[in-house]
Amino acid sequence: MNLSKDLMAASSTPLVLGVIAEGETYGYEIVKRVEELSGGELQWTDGMLYPLLHRLEKQGFLISRWHVGDSNRKRKYYAITEEGRKTLCEQQQQWQIINQALNKIWRDMQRSDNNDVQFA
Partner 1 sequence: MMSSSPNHFDLEQSIAQWRQFVLRRSAILNDDADELESHLRDQIDALLTQGLHADEAFLIATKRIGNIEAVSQQFAEVHTGRLWRNLVLSQPHSNWLNDVLVALCFAIAAALLFQIPRLFGFNPEQHEWVYARNISLFCLPLLAGYWVVQRQLGTRAWWLILGTVALFAVTMNAYPWQPISDTGDLAVLHLPIILWFLVGIMYTGNWWQTDARRMDFIRFSGEYAIYFVLIAIGGAVLTAMTIGLFSFIGFDIEIFAQQWLIPSGAMGAVVIVGWLVEAKKGTVENMAPVLARIFTPLFTLLLVSFLAVLLISGRAFDMQREVLIGLDAMLIIVLGLVLYAVSSREPTQAPSLFDTLQLLLVLAALCVDVVALSAMSDRIFAMGITPNRLAALGENLILLVSLSGYVWYYWGLIRANHAGFAKLERWQTRMVPVYVVWAAVVVLLLPILFSFA
Interface region with partner 1, contact rule CB under 8 A, candidates 13-21, 45-53, 85-93, 107-115: 45-53
Contact string (CB under 8 A) for partner 1, positions 47-66, x = contact: xx-xxx-xx-xxxx--xx--
Alpha helices, DSSP H, located in the chain = 5-21, 27-37, 49-58, 82-119
For the CB of residue 114, give the shortest distance to partner 1 in the complex, in Å.
43
Q: What string of DSSP letters covers 25-41?
A: EEHHHHHHHHHHHTTT-
Candidates 16, 17, 20, 26: give the one binding partner 1 (CB under 8 A): 26
Among residues 14 and 57, whose Cβ is nearest to partner 1? 57
Q: Whole-angstrom Cα distance, residue 46 to residue 49?
A: 6
Per the CB < 8 A criterion, the answer to whether 53 and 93 are in contact is: no
Candidates 4, 7, 74, 93: give the one binding partner 1 (CB under 8 A): 74
40: left (phi over 0), alpha (psi -120 to 50) or beta: left
List residues binding partner 1 (CB under 8 A).
26-28, 31, 45-48, 50-52, 54-55, 57-60, 63-64, 73-76, 81, 83
